Amino acid sequence: MVVTTLDPLKSFGPSAFGSLRFRAVAADGMRGTWHPLATLVRLPSLTDVHCPDSPDRKCTLRGSDLFLIDSVSADAQFANAVTVPEASLNRR
């Protein structure tokens, strides 16, 4: 049995994403088969979310890497989802 800890941000940096795989390597150097482990995703950093009192006005998001967000919603079912506009992609 082998146990390891991985800190993806520390190991790969903030721009890494994609499939992570692993394989065993024997003491004599013989390599095993690759196996899927997980999918590494990039996350946006939200610094401010401001929603007006009026439900007919849109909320404002501020942060970095907002292009990673497709849409936001006030409920888990995304019944009234709002697409994050491309104009907000480079705002901080």
Could you tell me if 92 and 54 lie in one domain? yes
Per residue in 7-25, pLDDT (tens digit) is 888 888 877 889 999 999 9
> Residue 87 has what pLDDT?
60
User: Domain range for residue 18?
Assistant: 1-41
| Lowest-confidence segment of 4-8, 17-21, 54-58 by average pLDDT | 54-58
Task: Give 42's contacts (C-beta < 8 A, 6+ positions apart).
Answer: 14, 15, 16, 17, 65, 68
Could you tell me if 33 and 74 lie in one domain? no
Per residue in 67-79, pLDDT (tens digit) is 888 888 877 888 7
Could you tell me if 55 and 90 lie in one domain? yes
Res. 44: pLDDT tops 70: yes
| Total structural domains within the chain | 2
Could you tell me if 92 and 53 lie in one domain? yes
Could you tell me if 50 and 22 lie in one domain? no
Could you tell me if 53 and 63 lie in one domain? yes
Dihedral sign for Cα 14, 70, 66, 77, please: negative
Could you tell me if 17 and 54 lie in one domain? no
